[in-house]
Every structure is written in C-alpha cells, then in structure tokens.
Chains A and B, each alone.
Chain A
Amino acid sequence: METDPLKSSPSEEASRSTDPGDRVPLDQIEMGHCARVTEVDASEADIEQLMAMGVCVGRRIMLMQTGDPMILKVLGTRIGVSARLARNVKVQPCLGDMFGEG
C-alpha cells in the first residue's frame, strides 16, 4: 500500500461493517429520500467507477428516480446507474436533506 496510495483495497472495504440492522440495498430506498452509504461490495468489477464518482462509504445519497437505470444525487451531482450495480451499495436512511441545510 505504501508504494501506491491511490489504489483502493477492495477486501478491506467489503469487510467493513457498521450496524447491520438498518442496512438496505440502494435500489430499495424510496424516491426523494436521503441515505448514507454504509457499505460497498467492491468485488463487483465496475463498482470502482461509481465509487470514484462519490458513491462510497460515508457519503449521503438521494434517489432522484427509481427504475433501471436509476438516478442518484451525490455531492450535488446526478449519476445514472444500473440497478444491477446499485444493488451492491448498502445504505442507511438518514435525516435531513443532503445540501447541508438540514
């Protein structure tokens, strides 16, 4: 890891766990609701791209449009993403809106 700090460590990411009780896959939250990412299954090949765009542990996400593909909002940007990929992201519903105003 010292040689290349930019590389991610998928195994560590997958093994992280916080309060498993409330966790739901991203594709199951309701439209317009806000949630915080608690876990990303990094074994999925194409998930790195989604994580690089901000869908990673700790970020707040809002579901703008359901369906497949769906639209997420994270850090003020909209991302269209396949439901297949979104299933690998576990979230915990959170209070307040995502613009730092709640």
Chain B
Amino acid sequence: MTCSARVDRRWREVLLISTIQVTLPPGQKAPDAEEICIALIGNPNAGKTTLFNALTGLRAKTANFPGTTIERRVGHTRLADHRVKLLDLPGLYSLASVTPEERLAREVLLGQQAHQPQPHGIILLLDATTLERNLYLASQVLELGLPTVVALNMVDLAERSSIEIDLEKLEAELGCPVVPVVARSGRGIDTLRRQLERMIEPSGPALGRASTEPFCDCSGCPYKARYDWAEEVGARVSSGRTTAHGGTTDRIDAVLTHRWVGVAAFLSVMFAVFALIFWVAQYPMDWIDAGFAYVGSVIGRWLPPGDFRSLLVDGVIGGVGGVLVFLPQICVLFFFLALLEDTGYLARAAFVMDRLMRRVGLPGKAFVPMLSAHACAVPAIMTTRVIEDRRDRLVTILVLPLFSCSARIPVYTMITALLFPYRPVAAGLVFTGAYTLGIVAALVMALVFKRTILPGESRPLVLELPSYKIPSLRTALLTTLDRAKIFIRRAGSIILGVSILLWFLASYPKSEPPAAALILQADAQQLISTGELDRAAGLEEEADRLTAQSGLARSFAGRAGRAIEPVLRPLGFDWQIGIGILSSFAAREVIVSTLAVVYGVGESAVDADPGSLYDSLRAAVRSDGTPVYTTATSVSLLIFYVLAMQCLSTQAVTRRETNSWRWPIFQLGYMTVLAYSVTFLVYQLLRIWNLG
C-alpha cells in the first residue's frame, strides 16, 4: 500500500497547486466541449494499463464504446489548472483499420467517432525493450499530426538488458518529446505530467511530427517501408543492442510452452488458482452471508411484521445478498488472473491450449474463461474479451454457463444427500458426474454452434508472448476493483429488480393462515399465559412454518408451479419442484431454500440442520402416496440443474458483453431446451429401468 500512498500524496500536491488558479471547483465537471481529452495509445503488453492507472488513480470508469463491446476506459487527472480526461484506447500493433479495435482507435484519433470529440493530444506509449516493433505503431500515430508526447516505458528493464537509447536522438527522429518512465514504479511520471501540461497549453509549441516521409512509396508493402524505418531509427538511437536478448524468458519458455510439459504446468497453475479461490473466498463469503443475515435480523427486529419488512428482508436483502455472496470468488479469480496476465504467463497458457481447443473449433484463448466458469460464469464471460474473433467469442460466451459454477454446489449437495446419504464415495461420483456432464455438454454445444449458427474455422493463432515480468500488485488490485464495481452495479440494478419481482410472486396474493397454524397459535398463547415460554416459542415457530408453506402454495408462484406441472411431469417433477425452478430463475441455489419452505421445513431449520431438509424431501409423497424423490426424479433434477440457465447475473453480463438482447435470450432458450430434453430422456430411461 506504500505505493498508492505515495501516489495519493502526489495527487494532493497536484490538486493543491491546481486549486490556486482553478476556474472550476474541483470535482465539478467541465462542459464536454471545453474538457481537454488526451488519448493513450500503445502496443499490447507495453504497460498501458499500468501507466493509465499511474496517471488517473482510482477514478477510472470502464464501459464500452457505444455500439461495440470494445472496452473504453476513461479517467480524469489534473494538468496545470485543467481537468483532463484520459482515454485509454485498446492495445494495438497497428492503426491499419484491419481489426475493429484498430478501426475504432483510428476513428477516435481522427475525431470521426460520434459522441467522442477528437482528442487534443496523444500519449504514445513505447516499450523500450522492444522499441523497433513499437516504432511501427509510432510511425502511424505520428502521421496523424496530433500533438504527441512519447512515454518510453520499462526503461529499467531496457537498462538491465544493456539497451542504451539516446533520448535526444529519439526525440529528433520522432519530432516530439520523449519521457523515459517506469509505469510500474511511478518513475518519470512527474516529468511526463509536465510534458503533458506543456502539450495542452494553447500557446505552447506545436508538437508532433511535422515532416513525415510518405511511407507508402507504392513500390512495396507499407509494412516493409514502416518497419525498415523502425529498424533504421532503432539502430540510429541506440548505441548498444536494440532489443533484449531475453535469455531468461527463453529458458522458462522451454518448459512452459513445451507440448506436454506446458499443458501439465498450465493445469497445475490453474488447479492452484482454483484451490486458492475456494479456500480464500470462503471466509469473506461467510462474512457476507452472515452480514446480510445480521442486517436482515436487525431490520426484522426494528420493523413491525408485515409486507414492508418481508420485502426488505426476504426480497431485497435475501435476493441481493444471495448474488453478492459470490463477489469474493469473482474478486479472487480476477486478482489471480490479472497477476498471471501481468507476468506474461496467460499468453503461454493460450499458446499451449491452442492445439487442444482447435478440436472443438475454438482458440486456445477460450480455455481460461472455460476454467474460470467453474467458479462463476460472470467473470468468465468478462474474460472472453481476449478472444479477438467475434464468432469464437460468442460461441464461448454461449457455452460458458454450462460449466458447473459454484452456485450449483448447494444444489448438487442437496441432491447427492437425497440419492446417497452417508455414502461419500457414491456422493463423490455424483459430483464428478455432474461436473463431467457440464464439460461434455459445453464442448459438444461449442462444436454444434461452430458448425451451425456461427460457422467458420477458428482464427489461426497470432499471439505475442511477452517477456516474463514481476507482476504489479497495484494493477491487479485496480483490475479486480474495476470488475467488482461492474458486478455490484449489476446486483444493484437488474438483479435487485428481479429479486423484488420474485419476492412479490412468492408473497402475493396473501392468504389466511391455515387452520392448523391458528390452532397452534392459540395453544401457544395459552402456554405463554402459564409461563411455559420455551414450548410456546416452539409452537409459534411451527405455526409460522405452516403459514409460510400454505402462503407460498397459494401465491402467484405457487399457482405458476401448479400451472407448469403438466410440462414438468415428464421430467418427474411435481408442482413443488416447479415453484423451486421458477423461484431459482434468478439464482439457482435459491431452490434449496424454496424447497425448504415448500415442503414446510422452514428456512431457519435448514440453516441449523441441513439433514432436516433432506429428511422431509425424502418423506415427500405424491397424491397417490408414492415418494416424490425417487432415484429417477433426483437424477433428473440434478441433470436439469447442470444444464439449465437459471442465473440472471449471467444473462445480464451476456447482454453487456454481446451488446444485444438477442444472445442472452438465445442462451436462455437453447439451455432450457437442452436441459428439458436431456432430463426428459434420462428420466424416461430410468423409469423403464424401474428406478422411478
């Protein structure tokens, strides 16, 4: 934290200086037309995110460019007495308008993007350790003629590799100021700020490359001409070598990119990450769970019983808490992925998995999202941004919710306990089977989609394998914070709305407490008058339980459960399970607490002793007296929950990442059809084998 403290101090200094002559009070947004905007552009792996964070601190906002799924990061900083908007453009090798990112960056820099005024200037980030390759993009950016300041990053690593760059010569070659920086440690950032202040001064010297030789001499390819220039400039400005030898990286790569050892190493790394996710995240998850339960009970004590209390406790706190409880897993996952990415390892992971993933028609980059989906599909879908090809990315997003995420664990646990109580080996096999089914279903569906609705060979791999580096904790933490904010915003909007809707459906119309409950309450009153408070409390709890059970059965949700029973009967489900499926539409683990209420166990009883739920589920009978939870019904319920969508957070993030409602609706549709048909087949087969 010392690093961020230092940055904060610097921030305060900047703010102090600037408050002397400000025209606008700090924090007040200047009108867009007058706001100064600087765009940050550079190669992938050049340290762009780190530099952006060093300049803007915690104030960055992440969204998409309008109409695209290309990430748009905007932060603000103060330069001289101006509030300056810093726009982070996607990492690019070229501005040639071949990929959507290149086209977009080019349009932004030329001021051709709607709602995005042309930037006043550019920070061109160059990696000192691979200067020649970086100069290619530089040649295109400088040609645009916008005021430009070059930030030469990773000069510390360049020095260590005995690359000596003559800054004055480089400035002369490029025709703009060059500031050596180490974005990771903050070295040179103050100098960079001063150069930027000079750049945005209206009366300042005109910067940018004035004399640009035309690169397309029309006798050859523009790539050649620009790269010839880049190599010449590289040779002129450096006295020693121009590129790092990279012996260490080569030695590590000999192991980590090896055909088989590399795959084994990758699986071990990911296994370690997942073990950490489940181990580290369980503590904050327990705290969040306990926190929401505590807030619920406090509100329960402060407010009189009634609809408003029920709305707050069961609808809002229960619903949002049930989703937010996965926040720690999402954060831990993003934190470790950001660290791995920063070391340069994730590129190797994509490289070694590429050969294997091609068999299902997907690129190697789809593998990390697929593994992440076993913790939670939400961060997994967000990480699919690394997949360049639109179709590959869509197919990956579509199948990700089929992998067994951690929200399914409570459901699997419940069903396993029903099927094989006190038999850990068999229970372990059920879990393994559920996970395997999810993986097989996802890979098969990926193949199907690649052959049908999104046809085409997957894009051939072209991937830079950057030199290994010590990762920046600060960058990883800021990335994690950024993703967490997106998730919380979702939980606060769409998920909150649906939770309230589901609460309403399960609570209305109100019905009178059943006769049995009224009798119990009357008995309890009598016991209170005779002083037997313990027994009275027991009877009252029993009465509440009966009231909740009959209330839910007569509610809209209960009626809907009965209404869809004919559809669910071929799967072996009764109307109670129907209520469970409907109520867990937003979050699948909700079915456990719903079934507890439907079968009259009471949620508090289940918390205290999960066995009480399993016992009453096992005791549940149909109208003809046969048990509901036969082997066939339990197995089909398990399969249904492996394959069905049942997660509103995933739907919301699919909507965000595909920028259309079409794909989340399609995802919901195909998964429901898949879940229904497979469950139907399995249930009917099991019935034939007399397990129903």
Contacts and interface: CB of A to CB of B under 8 A. Distances in A.
A76 B97 contact: no
Nearest to A13: B221
B216 A9 contact: yes
Given A46-B459, A53-B93, A75-B132, A69 B222 contact: no
Given A48-B98, A53-B133, A64-B250, A9 B227 contact: no
Contacts of B354: 69, 80, 82
B509 interface: no
B191 interface: no
A7 B96 contact: yes
A41 to B, nearest CB: 12
A37 to B, nearest CB: 9
B249 A78 contact: yes
A14 to B, nearest CB: 9
Interface in A61-89: 64-65, 67-69, 71, 74-82, 84-85
B130 interface: yes
Contacts of B136: 52, 54
B355 interface: yes
A81 B253 contact: no
A35 B383 CA distance: 36
Contacts, number: 155
B15 interface: no
Contacts of A71: 253, 257, 351, 465
Contacts of A9: 216, 218, 221-222
A7 B465 CA distance: 26
Contact of A6 (B95, B132, B351, B467): B95
Contact of A57 (B143, B223, B241): B223
A49 B355 CA distance: 20
Contacts of B244: 76
Interface residues of A, number: 44
Contacts of A84: 460
A85 B462 CA distance: 8
B462 A82 contact: yes
B130 A56 contact: no
B220 A13 contact: yes
Nearest to B98: A48
B519 interface: no
Contacts of A40: 221
B464 A56 contact: no
Given A56-B223, A76-B244, A8 B96 contact: yes
A76 B220 contact: no
B221 A85 contact: no
A100 interface: yes
Contact of B224 (A48, A57, A67, A69): A57
18 contacts: A4-B97, A5-B214, A6-B97, A7-B222, A9-B218, A12-B220, A12-B221, A51-B223, A54-B136, A56-B221, A58-B228, A59-B227, A77-B130, A80-B354, A80-B465, A81-B462, A82-B354, A99-B241
